Amino acid sequence: MADARKEHRELPITPDSRSSLLRTLNIMEHRAETGLNKALAGLGIEDGDPVKALYENLSQDGIKKPWSVKTFLKNVGDITWGSFWGKVSTISVAIGTGLGIIREAALNWDSFRILYNNAIAWSFADVEKGTDPLATLSTAATAAIVLAIPTLAVSTVTKITERRTEQLINRVNRVNAARNAIEAGEANLNYLIGPNVHILVGKSDPSIETLIKMFHDIGIEVITFWDEARAISPKINPFWLKTKNMWTRADVLNKASLENALCMFAEVSKGSDVFLSRRSGTFSRLYEDMSDAESRNANTKANFLLSQRGIKRAIPLVAVTNIKRAVTGSVAGETDAIYGTKNEGDLYAKNRHMHARHVDGIVTGLIAQISKKSGFPVELMTDPHRQQEYTHTFNLVIHDYNEKLSEEGKKQPDKSALRYKTAEDGNKSLTCFYGEDDQATLKLLEGFLEETSREGDVLAIINDPEVIGELPEEIRISKKYICVGEVLAKDQFRQFVQLVDNEEITLPAEIQSKLDTYRATPQLFSIQNHYGTFELDSFVFSP
Amino acid sequence: MKINTVLYGSAKVTDVSEDKIFETINRVVLLRIKTMILKNLGKEDVFAFKEVVKKNDPKLFFDFAYKRIPHLADKIHSEIRQLSLELQKTQ
């Protein structure tokens, strides 16, 4: 039997054998048409009945469209197959594996699903949800039949099947390897995606999901960089690279489709923490993921790698950080030379294509506008062990804010200046709730919302957009909150748009056109809450 | 370069005769499934059948058939296997 099979496999595919098979199939088709007519007549549906013609034509030609990678990941990774498709595919694999045709794929259920999906794609059907199930089914059936026909039976189909099966298995292997690499954050993305932005994330950042969505809205892919594991779902963004907390590694950056990179964003550790240690520049590896120096160096390295490929352009960097963090240096030697104090903002400003975004400044600007609108001076409700640190920082930003207004000639002491609550104000204040994390803020609201809002007003400051749903109703429904994640995402995106406007970033025409439409979206660069609509650029510290 | 080129680049079919074979198998399968569905409907289903066919939406039709005919998936696959066997006998 084995010899016979081998002998048959070596038979050439001839036009005659194809014709023979087609003739058989044509006869089968004619019989099937007759059978359908009889079955329709059996139900009293005769010639002339419009239902007859409609039923005969009820089908959809296979859509000749390969999957995009997103569709592929969606279908392969996330489909929960219903009982119907489960049965269909189980039987298909039984036929296929029973004949040993696809045994080389060493199938488990997952890899079968990929194979099966590919078999359908191979037969030129589109299995995305919402397409015609009959067309999908019939093309799936074609695949099943072709896989099911024994090699001895039809030399033509055998040859086709063998070639296709080999292609299929190779493709499945490649698909599996690519999928595994993408899931593990180790894929070489150079060949996979077009125009993209990089986001160096660290562990997590409250603005990341909103920012990714904004870029996807205008057709730009996003590659995120995480230290070990990504904290967002692959459904939101499949492309990521693992850095193992080393942000400047060439082997990682070289996989990041640098030629197509439009911009790099860095969410510097604790850069999104509104009132935390803005004057302190100390970093400890135990607690920090990415320092300001690393964010700048990652960008410098990426541009160096780009130049090594003969591309003379710089990928701009937008870093979310606290620009007032001090940069210290000591001289070892005989002298007591002092070279002055620097801060991180100074260092970002040295590089023409590096842009620091300062969350203290933006959120303080919003608080100032809200304070002015409510007519109350501000106070900050926080955790006892953060009180001293936050008070110190808050005082400094109030001071900076008022000074900035003075410099710009906008100071109107009675109206615009941001003022801290004093004893004379009694309980009449805008109480800002900001704990050391969102859960701490929620706890503070639970405990003190009632008494703080009795005479004055309240404003919750939360980091993560996810937490909005956990806010007390009186805060959530009346929108008495600022979401730092939303603010930062909008601010970073606005900076990106500004770089495009300044021609520091050149977009492909199609994306530029999408951006031109998208920028008309209401409140794209502002936030709306109980107190009104506020622009984000009202107050941004310059370094 | 897009990922689909990488993943599916080798899937391109150039042999017209192979296409014809697949297309014909497709049509035969579809005709036989449609016939099988009709054979499994009763007289009491005719009105609803006509109504759903008039909507000319394969998805709606398929939903209808799946609700009305128990074990439709098994029946469809039985039909496919039968067709496969018939093909083998003729070659």
CA atoms within 13 A on the CB side of A266: 28
Contact B25 A55 (CB under 8 A): no
Chain B closest-CA separation from residue A314 CA (Å): 22
Contact B74 A95 (CB under 8 A): no
Is residue A341 domain-resident? yes
Q: What is the DSSP string of A353-408?
A: TEEEEEHHHHHHHHHHHHHHHHT--EEEE--HHHHHHHHHHHHHHHHHHHHHHHHT
Task: Specify the pLDDT at position A72.
Answer: 31
Is pLDDT of A395 > 70? yes
Tokens, residue A391: 């008070």
What is d(CA A304, CA A253) in angstroms, rounded to the nearest whole number?
A: 11
Tokens, residue A140: 């799936």
Contact A142 B22 (CB under 8 A): yes
**pLDDT tens, A96-109?**
333 333 322 223 33
Q: Identify the domain containing residue A351 by its residue range.
A: 195-358
Is residue B76 domain-resident? yes
> How would residue A171 be classed by pLDDT, with cut points 50, 70 and 90?
low
Is the domain of A410 the same as that of A484?
yes
Nearest by Cα to A313 from A304, A326, A322, A325: A304
Tokens, residue A351: 């590089």
Is residue A304 domain-resident? yes
The interface residues of chain B toward chain A in range 19-48, judged by CB-CB distance below 8 A, are 20-22, 24-35, 38-39, 41, 43, 46
Contact B8 A35 (CB under 8 A): no
Task: Specify the pLDDT at position A205.
Answer: 79
Domain count, chain B: 1
Q: CB neighbours of A389 closer than 8 A, spacing ≥ 6?
A: A275, A276, A277
Is the domain of A284 the same as that of A405?
no
Identify which has the larger pLDDT, A170 or A471.
Answer: A471
Least confident range of A81-90, A118-127, A238-247, A490-499: A81-90
Is the domain of A466 the same as that of A529?
yes
Q: State how far Cα A381 lies from the chain centre.
A: 34
Mean pLDDT of A445-468: 88
Mutate to test the interface with B, among A19, A36, A61, A132 (most CBs of B within 10 A): A36
Domain count, chain A: 3
Q: Final residue of a domain: which of A341, A358, A375?
A: A358
Task: Specify the pLDDT at position A86.
Answer: 33
Give B69's contacts in chain A (Cβ within 8 Å): none
Is residue A507 domain-resident? no
Nearest by Cα to A247 from A285, A207, A190: A285
Contact A191 B80 (CB under 8 A): no
What is d(CA B90, CA A473) in angstroms, rounded to the nearest whole number?
A: 73
Q: Identify the domain containing residue B65 by its residue range.
A: 42-91
- Is A441 in contact with A461 (CB distance < 8 Å)? yes
Give B13's contacts in chain A (Cβ within 8 Å): 124
Is residue B84 domain-resident? yes
Residue % of chain A over a pLDDT of 70 = 66
What is d(CA A268, CA A285) in angstroms, rounded to the nearest whole number?
A: 13
Task: Specify the pLDDT at position A18.
Answer: 61
- Which H or E element spans position A513? helix A509-518
ipTM reported for the complex, 2 dp: 0.84
Least confident range of A121-130, A338-347, A397-406, A433-442: A121-130
Contact A191 B59 (CB under 8 A): no
Contact B87 A146 (CB under 8 A): no
Mean pLDDT of B24-41: 84
CA distances from A494 to A236, A498, A515, B55 (A): 21, 6, 11, 48
Task: Specify the pLDDT at position B18.
Answer: 53
> How would residue B9 be classed by pLDDT, with cut points 50, 70 and 90?
very low
> How would residue A32 be classed by pLDDT, with cut points 50, 70 and 90?
very high
Please tell me which of the candidates A24, A33, A192 has its beta carbon nearest to residue B3. A192
Chain A closest-CA separation from residue B91 CA (Å): 6
Task: Specify the pLDDT at position A450.
Answer: 83
Is residue B46 domain-resident? yes
Identify which has the larger pLDDT, B1 or A275.
Answer: A275
Task: Specify the pLDDT at position B51.
Answer: 94
Task: Specify the pLDDT at position A88.
Answer: 35
Residue % of chain B over a pLDDT of 70 = 56
Contact B8 A146 (CB under 8 A): no
**pLDDT tens, A278-331?**
444 444 444 457 888 999 999 999 999 999 989 889 999 999 888 877 777 777
Residue A410: exposed, middle, or buried by beta-carbon count in 10 A (0-12, 13-18, 19+)?
A: exposed
Helix/strand/coil for A56: helix
Is the domain of A37 the same as that of A145?
yes
Chain A closest-CA separation from residue B67 CA (Å): 11
Please tell me which of the candidates B24, B39, B62 has its beta carbon nearest to residue A134. B62
DSSP conformation class of A229: S
Task: Specify the pLDDT at position B71.
Answer: 72
Is the domain of A213 the same as that of A346?
yes
Q: Beta-carbon neighbour count of residue A419 at 10 Å?
A: 17
